[in-house]
Structure 1
C-alpha cells in the first residue's frame, strides 16, 4: 500500500492506490469517495465453454480472439464471412475483484458502454440487463458485495439472433429493410437492436456484429454524494453579457444541505448557490453571469482561434469540500438560418457562427474501425484540418463518437453535424424500444452538449427521404402507419428531448427540407428539393465533368464517387491471386452494387484505361485511375457548390455547405473515402486541400464561354485579378498568358472575375485548339498570388493531342523530392508504399520543369527507406 499526502485548498487529501487482480481503486478522504476501475484483464468464454481466453476491457470479442491468436486478422481476404460464427454465439465476460464489504453507504457498478444485449450478475445474483450500446448503465450493488473475492459476470447475447427474435416478435407489420442487399454480405434486422447500425454491414464496410464491454467499467462508492456529470452551455444575451448554463447531475445518499460555487477565474466570474441535495439522482441547473467585452470566442477552422476557459465547480457541505472539478468551456453562438431569399422560392439554409455566415467545407465521418477499441481518430481529424476542412458530419449509422473525438474537434475548430444513430431504415415504436431510445438521447445530449464543435443535432440519416420516395415498397394503405411511427420516434420523442438544449438547432432528418418538411407534416413530398434544406446527391453514370448534372442546392451534405485504395493498403490483406481488378477478392470487397464497373465506366469517359501486359502493373494502374477519376469528379462538384454561394439562378443557389461523402474508411476496400484505412491520403484528399482553400479560383464553361470565379471565405474584402496561362500539351513554356482587370471580391463571396469565349481565347494564343492546349490559372492581388493554382482541361485527356509519356526524374534531399520533367504531366502521383505520412502536394498537374515536394513523416524513417519506396506515376504512364 502506497500513500501520499498533498494539500488542496487547505484540506489534506490522502490518496490510496491498491492493485487487486488487474484492477485498482482510489480513495479520496476529502470527498469520502471511492472509485475502483474494473478495466483491464477479464476472462472471456463462449456459450459451450469450448473457448476460454483473456480479454481486455474496454474491448470486444473479435479483438480478444485476434489478440490471443484464435483468429488471424479479421480484415484479411474473406475473413469477414469466415468469422460470421463469432456473432452467432453468446459470450461471457468474467472478472474477480476484492473490496471491503464496509466500503461505503452507496456502491454503484457502472458500465460506460455495453455492446449490446447483456445480463449482469455479481456473486451469482442478477444485477440487471442492458439492451443499448449507446447507453451508460449503473446498478446499486452494495448489498451484494462480500469480503474477499467478488465475481462479476456479463453474459452477452448474439446480436444477430437477438435482432431476429425481436423481428419475429413484431408481427403486426413489416419494419423494413429486412436485410441488406446481398452484395453487402451482411446480417438482417439491425434496425431492431440499438447498436452501431453499420456493424451488420454497409455499402462501404464489412459485417462484424460486435459484442463486448466497449467502454470502461468501474465501482463508485460514497457516503454523502457523487457528482456524476457537469455540462456547460453558453448563451449570449445583450451588451456583451453572457450567461453560462451549468447542469450538474448528482447522486446523493440522503438529504443534505450545502453550497455550489461556480467560477471562471480568468473572467473574474464567481457565484455561490445554496442548495439542498435530495436522495437519489437529481439534475440541477445554475446560471453563471459573465460581463466582459474581452471574452474570446471559439471559431471554426479558418475563421479564428479556438480559445477556452476553465470552469471550476465546487460543492461544500458543512464547510467541507465534497467535490471539486474543472472543465473547459468555450463561448460561441450558432444559428441555422432558414428565411426567404429575394428572387427565389423556398428558404435559405446556412449557419451563422458568432453572428457570421460560415460556408461549411468538409466531409462525412463513419466509424474508423469495425472494432471500437481499435479506433484512433486524432490523425484523421488532423488530416481534415490539413485539407482546409472546417466541418464533419458524424453519420447516423455508426456510433456517437468517444469523448476524445469531440475534444479534438473543439481544439481544431471542426464543426460537427451530429446525427442520432438511425440510418436508412424504419424502426419499431414499441414502448420498450421508445424508452431505451429516450434514455440514449438524454444521455448523449447531456454528454456532448458542452462541446462547441457540435453545431447541430440531426435525428436520422435519409429516413425522411426513404419514406417520401418509397425505398421500401410500402403499400399506399399502410403509408400513414409508417409516417405516424416516424413522427412518434423523431419528433414526439427525440426532438422533444433535444430541444431542451437551446444552444444549437435540431433537424429531424438529413436530407430534409427543414422548415418546409415541418410544414408538410415532417415528411416532405420531395426532401431533395434544392430550394430548401440540405441535399444528398449521387450519380455514377452521368458525366461528372459536366457541372450541369449537379443540383444547385442550398446545402450539399452528401455527394461523392468511389475509388480503390492504393496497393500498399490492400497488400497486407490479400495474396497474389487477388491482385486483379476482376478477382474474387476485388469483387468481395466491393459492397456497392456494380461499383467496380461504375468506376471504370466513369473513368473511361475522359481517360484511356490501363492496358499493361504485366498483371500486377495493370492492377496498380487501375487503382490509380480510379483515384484520378474520383479526385477530378469530387473537385468539379465541390467547386460548383462553392461558386454557387453568392448566386441565385432560376431560383436555385446560395449554396452554403459542401460535405462530400466520405472522409475515412473502416477497412481496406473500395469506397467513397478520401483517406484510406490506416490514414494514407488518396488523391482526392490532396485535391480537397486545394478546392477547400480559403481563397480559390474556379473555372467552368457555359455556352462555349470560359468563366473564372474568385471565391473567398476570408473576413475581409480583396481586390483580385485572374491570371490565365495557356499551355500546349507538348511544351512546358506557356503559349500565352492573359490577365483580367482587378475586381473587388467582398468577404465571404464568389465573384465572376474572368469571362471570355473559348474560341476567342484560343485564337489569341497562336495555334492552340481544344485538343492541343490546356489552361492553368490563379488569383493575384497587387503583391502576390492568393490561393492555389487551378487547371481547366479544354478536352478529355484521352483526346489530347501531344500528351506523351514524360521523362520524370527525382532528386531526393532529406525528406523532400525535386521532380524534373521534360513535358506536361497530368496527375503526377508520388507514393512511398506503406511508410506513413503525407506529401505537401500530390496528384498535381506538372507544367514546370522542376517541382519540389516535401514529405511529412508520421513515424521514424530514413532517406534510404524513402528512396527505396518512392514511385512516381503520371497519367501517360498507365497506357
Structure 2
C-alpha cells in the first residue's frame, strides 16, 4: 500500500508478506469467480446483462455445462445458458447472459437521504455436463455457485455545456440531479492487514451515513477495500467515487509493469463492479496536475513523463476498466477538467479550472472563516483544514507540556508544520498563554473549533453555489485517520469524533438554511432542500443576539418561502450592517442565530458572526457552566452505555465542548449527540453513548469536563 510509506497525514509503517486469507480450492470443472451486472434503463423495463467470469484452472481447457441466473424473490424469466467453450491460456472464460425485468417488479436503490436502499440477490450457478455421470460424493466439484447483491439504479456523470461557460459536472441518479455531500476515505489502518477490520469499518461508514453523507471518495493512495466495505456502502446508500490505486507520484510505463497493472485493475474491478454504490472511476489522484505544475521537478524531461502518463492511464488503465465495467464513467485523473482534459490531450493547461470537472482546493494564506475566499467549482472533491486530535487522545498522563509539544511536532507531517493551525486561531479566536499549564489542552480545543468553522463555511458556500455556479458536489478531506496525529480528519484514529464531525450532520442536512456575509457586506440567505416531492412553504427567522443575552434584540422574518424539490432558493441579500447601524447595534457585540421552520416545526438552525469572535467583549464574563448527569444506563447485552447530560449556564456560551477525562479510557467510541456548539438557552440536554465492555464503568459528572471560548476570553 503506497500510503504505508507515509503521507502528510500518516506515518511510515510498511508491512510485509501475505495479508489476505489464503485458501485451497478444489474443483474438477469450472469455478464462478466473479459476476458483473450492467443495467440499461428502458422506458418500462430494465435490460440486465450479467457477466460471469469462470476459472478452469491455470491452463486452457474445454468446458461443457449450463449457467443458470436467478434474481431471487422476483417474478422474472431466469435464463439458462448452455456452454461448450474453451477457456483462454490463463484458464479464464467469460459468459454473458441477459434478462428483462419490468420496472414495476423491483424497487429503486437510492443514495442516502433520497429513498430506500433496496437490494436483490442475484444467484449464479455453474453445472458441468458430467455431473450425472459421476458418483454423488464427487458432484460438488462439478458445481459452482455465487450470490451477489445488486441494486436497480441508474447513475450518470453528466458534463453538458453550462449556461455561463465551461461544462457542468454532476451525478444524475435515477434521473435526478443529486448534490454529492461527503468526504474522502483513506485506509482505516496504515497496516493493510488491519484495514479490513469489519467492526471499525462499520463504525466509520455508519458515522458517514449518520452525518447525512451520500458519497465517499476512496482515495487512490490506499487499497481496494474489502468486500464488506462495499456491501455496507450498498446498504447505507453511500455512493463511492473510486480512484484506482495510483496517487501523487510518477510511475514506470515499461511492458512488465503495465501487464502487472492490467492484472491488478482487472481483478479488482471485476470483484466490486456489481455493487450499486460504485458511482464512477478515476484512474489516479493528482497526477495530471502534478505533471502540469511540476510538483516533482519533471519539467526537465516533461515530454517523457507525459508520454508515460498516457501509456499508464489513458492506454492501459482506462481501457481495462471500461472493458470490465461497461456501466460507469472513467475519469483519467482527479482533479481534472473532465471532458476538457481529454480534448486538451489529457494534460490541461489548468487542470483545476473551476468551470470544468472537479477541483481540489486548499488555502492556508487567507482567512478560512471568511466565506468570500472560496471561489467554488463544478465539483470540489477535496478541501479541508488541519486540527489536532483531542487532548485526552494523547498520553497526557505521562507527558508534560513540553514533551507533548515534541510529540505533536514529531507527528506533524505537513510540510507547513503547525503554522496554519496557529495562524487561523490567531485570526479569529483568543490565543491561550504559552506559559499556561493548560496551553496544549486549549490549543487542541481551539484547533478543532477553527477546523470546524473553516470546513463548515466552505461546505455551506459550496452548497449555496449550486444555484449560481452549478456546484454539485463537496467532499471534504478527510473522514478518518491512521494514527493520533495532526491531520485534516473529522474522526480520529480509533473513532473519537472531532468537533467537525459533530457539525457535519447539521451542515449536510437535507433541509438546511445557509447564511453568510458576501463581498458587498450583505447577508446572503439560502434555503436548501435535498429531498423530493411537492413544493413546500418554509419560514426563516434571523434573530440578532447580543453575545451576553439569551433573548434576541431584533429579528427578521421570512414567511411563506416556496421551496421546490431538490434545489436551492436564494431568500434574500440583505444589508445587515446598515440594519445594525440604524438600530445602533455594534457588530462586535452581536451575532445572528437563524432558524428554519417546516410545517411549523423548527428543522434546522445556523449562525453568522458579524465580527471576529475574539472581539466579543461580552464573552469575558464566566457563563458558570454546570454539567449534571441526569440518567446513566448500560445494557449488558451489547455493553452500550447511554447518558443524558443536563448543561445549565448563566449566559450564552461559545463553542461549548465536552470530553471524557483521561481516567475513563475503558470507555470506547464515545459520541455526544452534539458538541462544540453555541448554547443560547439556560438549560440544554445532550446525550452521550459509549461502548463499556462489561458495563463496569461508574460515571459521575466529574468524569466529563467542559471547555469554551468564554473561559479563554477571560484569561
Is TM-score (shorter-chain normalized) higher than 0.5? yes
Residues 288, 250 of structure 1: alpha-carbon distance in 2 compared, 3 angstrom cutoff: farther
Instruction: Return 5+ residue gaps in structure 1 as ranges.
Output: 1-195, 648-652
For residues 221 and 417 of structure 1, the distance between their equivalents in structure 2, rounded to whole angstroms, comes to 36
* Aligned-pair CA distance for 1:419: 0.4
| Aligned equivalent of 1:490 | 313
After superposition, give the CA deviation of every residue in 1:217-241 in whole Å (9 maximum; x if it has no partner): 1111222332222233333233223
Counterpart of 2:2 (choices 179, 190, 197) is: 197
* Aligned-pair CA distance for 1:736: 2.2
| Aligned equivalent of 2:678 | 845
CA contact (8 A) 1:298 1:330 kept: yes
* Aligned-pair CA distance for 1:530: 0.2
| Aligned equivalent of 1:542 | 366
Paired residues for 1:89-128 under 5 Å:
none
For residues 580 and 701 of structure 1, the distance between their equivalents in structure 2, rounded to whole angstroms, comes to 42
* Aligned-pair CA distance for 1:782: 4.2
For residues 434 and 250 of structure 2, the distance between their equivalents in structure 1, rounded to whole angstroms, comes to 48
Paired residues for 1:373-522 under 5 Å:
373-375=193-195, 376-475=200-299, 478-500=301-323, 501-522=325-346
For residues 578 and 403 of structure 2, the distance between their equivalents in structure 1, rounded to whole angstroms, comes to 46
Is 1:818 the counterpart of 2:625 in the alignment? no
* Aligned-pair CA distance for 1:519: 0.3
* Aligned-pair CA distance for 1:763: 4.7
Counterpart of 1:225 (choices 30, 47, 60) is: 30
For residues 527 and 629 of structure 1, the distance between their equivalents in structure 2, rounded to whole angstroms, comes to 29
Is 1:686 the counterpart of 2:507 in the alignment? no
For residues 613 and 806 of structure 1, the distance between their equivalents in structure 2, rounded to whole angstroms, comes to 24
Residues 620, 513 of structure 1: alpha-carbon distance in 2 compared, 3 angstrom cutoff: same
Residues 579, 331 of structure 1: alpha-carbon distance in 2 compared, 3 angstrom cutoff: farther
| Aligned equivalent of 1:654 | 470
After superposition, give the CA deviation of every residue in 1:412-432 in whole Å (9 maximum; x if it has no partner): 011111101111111111111
After superposition, give the CA deviation of every residue in 1:660-712 in whole Å (9 maximum; x if it has no partner): 00000010000000000100000000111111011111111122221211111
For residues 461 and 670 of structure 2, the distance between their equivalents in structure 1, rounded to whole angstroms, comes to 30
Higher helix share: 2
| Aligned equivalent of 1:281 | 92
- TM-score (ref. length: structure 2): 0.91
For residues 820 and 640 of structure 1, the distance between their equivalents in structure 2, rounded to whole angstroms, comes to 33
Is 1:345 the counterpart of 2:165 in the alignment? yes
SS of residue in 1 equivalent to 2:12:
coil
After superposition, give the CA deviation of every residue in 1:96-116 in whole Å (9 maximum; x if it has no partner): xxxxxxxxxxxxxxxxxxxxx
| Aligned equivalent of 2:137 | none
SS of residue in 2 equivalent to 1:697:
strand
For residues 697 and 582 of structure 2, the distance between their equivalents in structure 1, rounded to whole angstroms, comes to 47
* Aligned-pair CA distance for 1:817: 0.4
SS of residue in 1 equivalent to 2:595:
strand
SS of residue in 2 equivalent to 1:864:
coil
| Aligned equivalent of 1:776 | 593
| Aligned equivalent of 2:399 | 576
* Aligned-pair CA distance for 1:805: 2.4
For residues 853 and 465 of structure 1, the distance between their equivalents in structure 2, rounded to whole angstroms, comes to 45
| Aligned equivalent of 1:664 | 480
Structure showing greater relative contact order (alpha-carbon pairs closer than 8 Å, 6 or more residues apart): 2
Larger radius of gyration: 1
SS of residue in 2 equivalent to 1:646:
helix
Q: How many residues were matched structurally?
A: 672
For residues 476 and 421 of structure 2, the distance between their equivalents in structure 1, rounded to whole angstroms, comes to 17
| Aligned equivalent of 2:636 | none
SS of residue in 2 equivalent to 1:571:
coil
| Aligned equivalent of 1:718 | 536
CA contact (8 A) 1:490 1:508 kept: yes
For residues 427 and 577 of structure 1, the distance between their equivalents in structure 2, rounded to whole angstroms, comes to 44
* Aligned-pair CA distance for 1:464: 0.3
Residues 233, 837 of structure 1: alpha-carbon distance in 2 compared, 3 angstrom cutoff: farther
Instruction: Return 5+ residue gaps in structure 2 as ranges.
Output: 133-141, 632-642
Is 1:593 the counterpart of 2:593 in the alignment? no
Counterpart of 1:328 (choices 141, 144, 149) is: 149
- TM-score (ref. length: structure 1): 0.74
After superposition, give the CA deviation of every residue in 1:842-865 in whole Å (9 maximum; x if it has no partner): 111011101100112234447732
| Aligned equivalent of 1:618 | 439
After superposition, give the CA deviation of every residue in 1:192-220 in whole Å (9 maximum; x if it has no partner): xxxx1111110000011211211011111
Paired residues for 1:630-641 under 5 Å:
630-641=451-462
Paired residues for 1:48-197 under 5 Å:
196-197=1-2
Counterpart of 2:48 (choices 232, 240, 243) is: 243
| Aligned equivalent of 2:118 | 307
CA contact (8 A) 2:170 2:472 kept: yes
For residues 325 and 494 of structure 1, the distance between their equivalents in structure 2, rounded to whole angstroms, comes to 27
* Aligned-pair CA distance for 1:876: 1.6
- CA RMSD, Structure 1 to Structure 2 (Å): 1.8
